[in-house]
Structure 1
């Protein structure tokens, strides 16, 4: 049996373990049947036609002013080592936490718990522990990161209340392209990096990759990063913040005529000894050092069938992600909390293209399973829980381009959520709800250089598994309403002779937000899950600049006024968001030669009122600048040196996305890292 003769053989073999691990529910059977049927239908439609080269599917409705896409060149230039390095200088985004273990992503002031995050099309829905980061991303082999902020297109997936963040990693063909030699069939990348601040950090990277003809490629990678406690801008040592990160990935890519297949297996782990609340200092004097471990294992299989037919371009994704954490007392080994969430499912879609119309339609399904325990409260309330949720969705997104000046997009998705508590607090409780989420946008280009856009979208998220730690403490009563969001935006973009400018204004509401509510009813329950109110945000983003042959300069500003039940959000609104001062950004890039490039990134955050207590001081403003450079040290550009200085002026500050001032009258979060020199050296063998 050869793969070229039977192109689905590779995909079927890769999917058997995933399918075997998942019960064949009504949704799974439907989608697998459709996946089997679609190629046969397409083959009948295109009999006798010649195969065409695969091209990239672009869903037009998902790109708009106010969003961003980060490519590999930007990641390499900035010497990114964690999520904050990747995203902090992007419009509309803040990353708080100080220490890497506590970093959280905020989009327009809302926390990433409301954001759909995918890695190689595999959703990452798990929220394990509210004091630790939810999204684990190792930058070293990221190919691109795309953000669509705010509720938007139906293709963003179920429950995308505040948008979608998509991470794509590199494959063997991407790595081989670095050599600039189309005849190259195999290679090895080795890299060493160091960050010099406090007790310093070190990273080692090795990757081996190759291809057999132009049809099949394979890659294996390993990354180890070890970091010590860091220093702030005023020279204070921040402890305990030392960490150890590991990442391994195996990836297999095949091109078989009209078919392309990609299987990715990724493992990440993050270990360290922190306080039981790793985003805080020991302000209460009673926090106990604990050994923390978080891991994520993601398997994703992506298959595309693109024959010579405008009516058929099928994409299918099967995925399985297991995320878990465990915190144990450092002195006794006693469990503080643990949780494991397994998510698996699929997305099957087809794209049909006609002269002026593009239609994307499909179905998706995801099932989440949680097994968690907490032993942090008084012993009578120690508990375990097992919960499940499934969501079945059907969606369509149409984009009509009647002329060069006009583009109209409209779509909708229908999502059916079914949540059940199998054991633990609230055992037997169930929440089920289904709802449509429509969207529409219109874009007008009155001149060659000017584009205007208006959009409106709804998004619905039924009752899902909430934070693993709290799920073993707070009770479900089966009376919850799903959360719904509406988002309205207007945008303008202009470009001419190298000059460019863009701006977006937005207003969004999130109704029936679900949160844990402490009741203190010692005789019955510690607390319960409830619909607690309405969150909203109003704001804007703008950027202007100029591009030359070797230079690019851009200046930007964004501001989000976030509120909850008619009061400003604050740091205590864990899982929802916080208030962040108006943020100004500057970016300068200079390609001095084909073998050298330099960059500057600067961010100024204005002071922001803090309503966490009536007497709380405002969140102080701050300005941070980073400089960076990358050089090819040989003519073949295989030996590369990179260097960056973050927080160039060694400012001492608290990021507004960090839990800072507390009702006790002190700053309890970890301040930001002071000046750090990051250096890397890599070689392609």
Structure 2
């Protein structure tokens, strides 16, 4: 939760080595919007403390967020009840647009070398990027200067980790880093994780959920007076043997095990130029991403489906400041190309596709301090989309549309501890490439309208003497939502505008921070509907209904500053299941996680970490998991893992 972010930074400051490079102050980036509850910023200390190995470990205890799926490869992120397919996700500035296969996530994140994760929920500032219908999540990774200790020119990191649950899991981490000169640093990392089939809260083995994960990265960083750059190359590889839909059991009795492989290769370059003076603070980002998947029958090796999407993009922006005014303005571009094939349907409907899409955007976001009591922020984006079917099931189809997206917010502080904020934003996403598997099955006619989101928020915050209380109420609509619709005629189906999605909800938190301790309690609730009916688990790609969620946090660091201890808890209330009139409610559940780490040698060279997730071994289905199916009258999704003990040892030298 946001309110704990300042405290978490203080607690973990002892764990963050100072590289001794004064030029590191270039890391600061201007933020033109006040953070509200639900807009969090996870730092490196929090990530290490949670012993995070996947998305659920990272995000499940954050306000406004749910993670469902079971196996890490099938996990999906829900922000205010909407799927991450409508969320702009960037890693080191590189946008991750590729949707691959069913419930397998495009948000492939390896926690080991993440520096921070920021989430701005809801359509917002123009700087969020093109098509940010439900907000933006920005992931930053570490570099050599982040890992080097004072006075150190070269270093190595070795880490071993284990998760004790069911078939257990193990992870090995290697990293080498150093200074090539006073201004250049290089980092090379490798991570391998072998995860076994886990056990649920009843002690039953959940199969098939085992996986293998590999991640490698090379990063060259430079700091030269007013210039700073990062050149990064990253490779991710996930493999496993699952049923046709990796987030579901073999509920039909005829699903065939398939060998699944997902890969992502990213090359990105970021350059920052921040000379003395207020007129120029420029940043340029360029990237190329290739994401692919392949599913083959486990018994025969016959192809079930395959897809590869490449994305090439750039973002050029500058921030100028004049006394009470700060203005960020820039241009961005992304071009996508998809090749996909599916042989999952009866042979007459086997299909393939080649599609291209591009979006060009121009934007500006201003932030004015009108007086000590009043602050105004306003911005505008203009995005031009072009989509074309080159061959296969959508050959010859073309979609194009351009639209402006304004936003404005005003903040009033009548007395120093109390602040009110009112914000309205729009976001536009034109027709672009959708899920690779469905793109080889469903046809484009070329007559689609782009999706249009608007978001209205009201927030209030109060903070004094370490006590804080914050709340946000929001209402958002997404019009012209695009989805695949089954036809059953000459074509299997078509992409169509099928209606309007809405969400109304609130988030709130209260707490207290001391020098070495912090506590907070929060609640969030989102009522999501589509065409005036509640969302349910069958609304794949859009979202689902999630029960009102209560969260609690406790953090403590002893006076020695050589350890950190924390408790995270969440209570999710029952939620009515609208998937069928006879469907039972989604059952509520309560989960408690405890975690700690220790610096064993009095500094950060040797660190021991431990966490117990689901301490009381509760059996439950996360509300973000496809649970009950009306047709079978059964729960066909995977239950969440039961109690798991995670241990890690990290040595830096």
1:273 aligned to 2:241?
Answer: yes
Residue number in structure 1 paired with 2:597: 630
CA deviations on 1:423-448 (whole Å, 9 max, x unpaired) are: 01121000000000000000111111
Distance 1:53 1:628, change over 3 A: closer
Aligned counterparts of 1:388 and 1:372: Cα–Cα separation in 2: 12
Distance 1:55 1:378, change over 3 A: closer
Return 5+ residue gaps in structure 2 as ranges.
Answer: 1-22
Residue number in structure 2 paired with 1:238: 206
1:650 aligned to 2:622?
Answer: no
Residue number in structure 1 paired with 2:554: 588
1:354 aligned to 2:354?
Answer: no
Q: CA deviation at 1:405?
A: 1.6
Aligned length: 629
CA deviations on 1:414-466 (whole Å, 9 max, x unpaired) are: 00000000001121000000000000000111111111100000000000100
Supply the RMSD in Å over aligned alpha carbons: 1.1
Native 8 Å contact 1:516 1:529 kept in 2: yes
After TM superposition, list the pairs within 5 Å mapping 1:369-388 onto structure 2. Answer: 369-388=337-356
Q: Helix, strand or coil: the match of 2:85?
A: helix
1:615 aligned to 2:582?
Answer: yes
CA deviations on 1:535-592 (whole Å, 9 max, x unpaired) are: 0000000010001121100000000000000000000000000000000000000102
Residue number in structure 2 paired with 1:602: 569
1:558 aligned to 2:515?
Answer: no
Aligned counterparts of 1:134 and 1:670: Cα–Cα separation in 2: 19
Aligned counterparts of 2:24 and 2:525: Cα–Cα separation in 1: 46
When normalised by structure 2's length, the TM-score is 0.95
Aligned counterparts of 1:565 and 1:420: Cα–Cα separation in 2: 29
1:517 aligned to 2:489?
Answer: no
Q: CA deviation at 1:257?
A: 2.0
Aligned counterparts of 1:370 and 1:53: Cα–Cα separation in 2: 40
Native 8 Å contact 1:242 1:273 kept in 2: yes
1:476 aligned to 2:444?
Answer: yes
Q: Helix, strand or coil: the match of 1:238?
A: coil
Native 8 Å contact 1:397 1:409 kept in 2: yes
Aligned counterparts of 2:576 and 2:343: Cα–Cα separation in 1: 36
Alignment equivalent of 1:68, drawn from 40, 58, 76: 40
Native 8 Å contact 1:475 1:525 kept in 2: yes
Q: Helix, strand or coil: the match of 1:470?
A: helix
Q: Helix, strand or coil: the match of 1:530?
A: strand
Aligned counterparts of 1:614 and 1:350: Cα–Cα separation in 2: 54
Q: CA deviation at 1:63?
A: 3.2
Aligned counterparts of 2:308 and 2:46: Cα–Cα separation in 1: 34
Alignment equivalent of 1:195, drawn from 163, 181, 184: 163
After TM superposition, list the pairs within 5 Å mapping 1:423-438 onto structure 2. Answer: 423-438=391-406
Aligned counterparts of 2:372 and 2:265: Cα–Cα separation in 1: 45
Q: Helix, strand or coil: the match of 2:414?
A: coil
Q: Helix, strand or coil: the match of 2:348?
A: helix
1:131 aligned to 2:97?
Answer: no
Alignment equivalent of 2:426, drawn from 422, 439, 458: 458
Q: CA deviation at 1:59?
A: 2.2
Aligned counterparts of 2:275 and 2:557: Cα–Cα separation in 1: 40
Return 5+ residue gaps in structure 1 as ranges.
Answer: 1-50
Residue number in structure 2 paired with 1:668: 636
1:154 aligned to 2:126?
Answer: yes
Native 8 Å contact 2:236 2:265 kept in 1: yes
Alignment equivalent of 1:574, drawn from 520, 537, 540: 540
CA deviations on 1:77-99 (whole Å, 9 max, x unpaired) are: 11001000000000000000011
Q: CA deviation at 1:53?
A: 6.4
Aligned counterparts of 2:483 and 2:51: Cα–Cα separation in 1: 37
Native 8 Å contact 2:186 2:221 kept in 1: yes
Q: CA deviation at 1:309?
A: 2.4
Aligned counterparts of 2:353 and 2:437: Cα–Cα separation in 1: 10
Q: Helix, strand or coil: the match of 1:73?
A: helix
Aligned counterparts of 2:394 and 2:596: Cα–Cα separation in 1: 55
1:98 aligned to 2:70?
Answer: yes
Alignment equivalent of 2:90, drawn from 103, 118, 130: 118
When normalised by structure 1's length, the TM-score is 0.91
Native 8 Å contact 2:37 2:63 kept in 1: no
Residue number in structure 2 paired with 1:85: 57
Q: CA deviation at 1:55?
A: 5.6
Aligned counterparts of 2:26 and 2:384: Cα–Cα separation in 1: 34
Native 8 Å contact 1:68 1:146 kept in 2: yes
Q: Which 10-residue stretch deviates more, 185-194 or 397-406? A: 397-406
Runs of at least 4 residues of structure 1 off by over 6 A?
none
Q: CA deviation at 1:212?
A: 3.0
Q: Helix, strand or coil: the match of 2:540?
A: coil
Q: Helix, strand or coil: the match of 2:492?
A: strand
Q: Helix, strand or coil: the match of 1:380?
A: helix
Residue number in structure 2 paired with 1:11: none
Q: Helix, strand or coil: the match of 2:45?
A: helix
Native 8 Å contact 1:65 1:493 kept in 2: no
Q: CA deviation at 1:131?
A: 2.6
Distance 1:407 1:214, change over 3 A: farther
Native 8 Å contact 1:62 1:153 kept in 2: no
Alignment equivalent of 1:545, drawn from 506, 511, 517: 511
Distance 1:624 1:430, change over 3 A: same
Residue number in structure 2 paired with 1:531: 497
